Amino acid sequence: MDDVYIVILSLMASAIFSGMEISFLSTNRLQLELDLKKNKFSSKIIDKFFKHQSQFIGLLLLCNNVANVIYGIAIARILEPFISDILPEAISNDFIILLCQTILSTLLVLATAEFLPKIIFSINPNKSMKIFSVPAVILFYLLYPIVAVFIFISELVIKYILRVDISHEDYKLNVVDLNDYIKEYSNPDDEDEDIQQGIELFQNAIDFHNVKLRECMVPRTEIQAIDIEDSIDDVKAVFEETKHSKLLVFENNIDNIIGYIHINDVLTKVKNLRQKVRPIDFYPETYSAQELLKKLSKKHQSIAVVVDEFGGTSGIISIEDLIEEIFGEIEDEFDVEDTLEKTISPDDHIFSARLEIDYLNKNYKFNFPESDDYETLAGYIIHYHESIPEIGEEIMIGNYIFKIIKATDTKLEEVEIKNNQ
């Protein structure tokens, strides 16, 4: 057979085996399990490969190496006369010719049989495995004795010389598989709103275990609380004004919260407010929202106080705040009603500074960078400006101009955003 055809065929074979290797390692196991439930033939084959992972990977490596050896022999016969003809006689010797052959053949095999196929096969690894599952299983049985010998020798070396434990455990599906499955099979262009809402709900539930209290609490500046020394009439007035059913109670200042009081406690005859104060739990900003939801549910509590690293009051968290991290915005008694969202033109908006950066990016197609250093629009501006801007001040960050519409000495309230592109 002509050497050119041998090179082409060996490169194709090497590309397929390299691609199958990355497909096998990237296969979504949840999707595979779902296909097995549908009794698909190709999925049964792939499942067999996963039950014999070492042997299958060994098969791919063996076949890939054989293809590369054949390629190396054939490409050398093609390149040698070509390189000999173009090299000047002064530097033309066996070493230089071999060096040129090695460089050219390596670049060719890396581009066509390594990088490119691995990129292509990794786009949809499950589908790629299904396409080549039948020829792969034929090779698997044909070459199994050879592969088994190499695997046996390798395991002996690893176990008795390197002293490494090589015991195999059955694979168990985990949250990563579920997360990958949702990302892979969700379609943001799908016009079915119910499907997209279901996918978003599923994704929120998966991401919930990474959420910290500082990401979903009502901040300190928006806490409405009463002093333990306030009169009963004053407390009733605060309940009437805020429409809350519960109020935090502090002694001397907001950093010394001693509990909370329910509106029912002041509707009855009561002389001493301190007698009606109910205990409340405290949690750090970095505490897991998922764990707190479990604790509040178990203790039949609905609110807790969030404290910073110095023990000062950082915010308040309600069970509704935790649930809405999964189900989306739920208006509860501790939420601030005014979260302004006003569109003046496609490139000009006015927003409440409390809106979160990821919410603005998602709903208004901004490209603001997200960071652990801030959560809200106010935090983003203060992070880059390094101070609280004054009303009317304009700040240029990236391609956007931020104009402060409303602010106090301690916080930003409303911001106008203009696209400067």
3-state helix, strand, coil in the chain (%, to 5): 55, 15, 25
> pLDDT band at residue 167, thresholds of 50, 70 and 90?
low
Q: Is 252 left (phi over 0), alpha (psi -120 to 50) or beta?
A: left
Same domain, 46 and 122: yes
Same domain, 32 and 152: yes
Same domain, 251 and 395: no
Does 332 fall in a domain?
no
Same domain, 31 and 122: yes
Q: What is the pLDDT of residues 266-321, one digit of tens each?
A: 877 777 788 889 999 999 999 999 999 999 999 988 899 999 988 899 999 998 88
Same domain, 7 and 49: yes
| Angle value at C-alpha 320, between 316 and 323, nearest 5 degrees | 120
Does 232 fall in a domain?
yes
Give the Cα separation of 67 and 22 in Å (integer). Answer: 17
CB atoms within 10 A of CB 343: 11
Same domain, 154 and 247: no
- What residues have CB less than 8 Å from 261, skipping those under 6 apart? 226, 235, 246, 247, 249, 273, 276, 277, 278
Same domain, 132 and 219: no
| Angle value at C-alpha 33, between 27 and 36, nearest 5 degrees | 115
CB atoms within 10 A of CB 107: 10
C-alpha closest to that of 72 among 122, 126, 14, 23: 14
Does 292 fall in a domain?
yes
Same domain, 204 and 105: no
Looking only at the bridges linking them, the beta strands covering 246-251 and 253-262 are: antiparallel
Does 284 fall in a domain?
yes
Half-sphere exposure of 284 (CA within 13 A, CB side): 6
Structural domain containing residue 241? 213-327
For residue 402, report the phi and psi dihedrals to the nearest 5 degrees.
Answer: -105, 120
Q: Does the structure show a pLDDT above 80 at 338? A: no
Q: What is the pLDDT of residues 13-34, one digit of tens each?
A: 999 999 999 999 988 887 888 8
Same domain, 223 and 304: yes
| Total number of domains constituting the chain | 4
**pTM of this prediction exceeds 0.85:** no
CB atoms within 10 A of CB 281: 12
Same domain, 206 and 220: no
Choose from 86-95, 159-168, 186-195, 296-305 the range with maximum mean pLDDT. Answer: 296-305
Query: The domain that contains 348 carries what CATH number?
Result: 3.30.465.10
